[in-house]
């Protein structure tokens, strides 16, 4: 079985995150050889500096956490993050446009970001807590059709995080596409992490990566 640590995007996205906390995040990622650290775009240069000569990648969120920024703003934030050393981008889908039924605008939003990063991994956050089953399937299909390399459940800042039911819907939406699923939000212990991996999830977004790989689930940091 693929080692558990290699599924983890070690995450710190709270608004009060300090430079010292980001340094600790990166140190933990290096120690446990997580797949990546996931940070807000302002911290990409710092994370890249610390992780420069390692295998740990840098992931930046874009349009986070609401997804309600203009497409131009998302594109520029992604460009800046990539310029500063980000390897991957996790962008939030425009949920308001989606709930309005303006699927053309949602598609344009995703496609515009992917067009400026054809060789980098783009994960599209659906924020499934705001969507019913039919909407999760439709959002997954839109993201896949417009360049997403991953579809991702949650920001961790909505009303709920990943659920088994929602992840199954997303996995079923992939079918023959070379697209993967990232589960995030509420993954705090080893058992939960393994449940999602056994379903077929390829990446886990969590601030509790150390607890998950060490089995010490008594010191969880947050719901993300």
Write down the catalytic residue from 9, 152, 166, 180.
152
> Is 90 an annotated catalytic residue?
yes
> Is 182 an annotated catalytic residue?
yes
| SS3 labels along 152-173 | ECCCCCCCCCCCHHHHHHHHHH
User: Which backbone phi and psi does 38 adopt, to 5 degrees?
Assistant: -120, 120
> Is 79 an annotated catalytic residue?
no
How far is it, in rounded angstroms, from Cα 173 to Cα 31?
35
How far is it, in rounded angstroms, from Cα 75 to Cα 63?
9
Write down the catalytic residue from 90, 109, 149, 166.
90
Contact 189, 212 (CB under 8 A): yes
Other beta carbons within 10 Å of 191:
10
Contact 86, 58 (CB under 8 A): yes
Catalytic residues: 90, 152, 182
């Amino acid at each position: 079985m693929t080692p558990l640590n290699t599924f983890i995007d070690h995450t710190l996205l709270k608004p009060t995150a300090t430079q010292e906390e980001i340094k600790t995040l990166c140190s933990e990622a290096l120690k446990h050889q997580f797949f990546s650290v996931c940070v807000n775009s302002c911290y990409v240069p710092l994370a890249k500096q610390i992780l420069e000569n390692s295998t740990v990648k840098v992931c930046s969120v874009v349009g986070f956490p609401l997804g309600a920024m203009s497409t131009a703003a998302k594109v520029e934030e992604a460009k800046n993050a990539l310029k500063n050393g980000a390897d991957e981008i996790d962008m939030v889908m425009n949920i308001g446009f989606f709930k309005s039924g303006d699927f053309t605008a949602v598609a344009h939003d995703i496609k515009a970001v992917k067009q400026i990063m054809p060789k980098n991994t783009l994960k599209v956050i659906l924020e499934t807590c705001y969507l019913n089953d039919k909407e999760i399937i439709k959002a997954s299909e839109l993201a896949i059709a417009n360049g997403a390399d991953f579809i991702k459940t949650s920001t961790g800042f909505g009303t709920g995080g990943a659920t088994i039911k929602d992840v199954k819907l997303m996995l079923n939406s992939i079918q023959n596409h070379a697209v993967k699923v990232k589960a995030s939000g509420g993954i705090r212990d080893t058992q939960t992490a393994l449940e999602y991996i056994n379903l077929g999830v390829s990446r886990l977004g969590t601030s509790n990566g150390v607890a998950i790989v060490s089995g010490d689930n008594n010191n969880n940091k947050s719901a993300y």
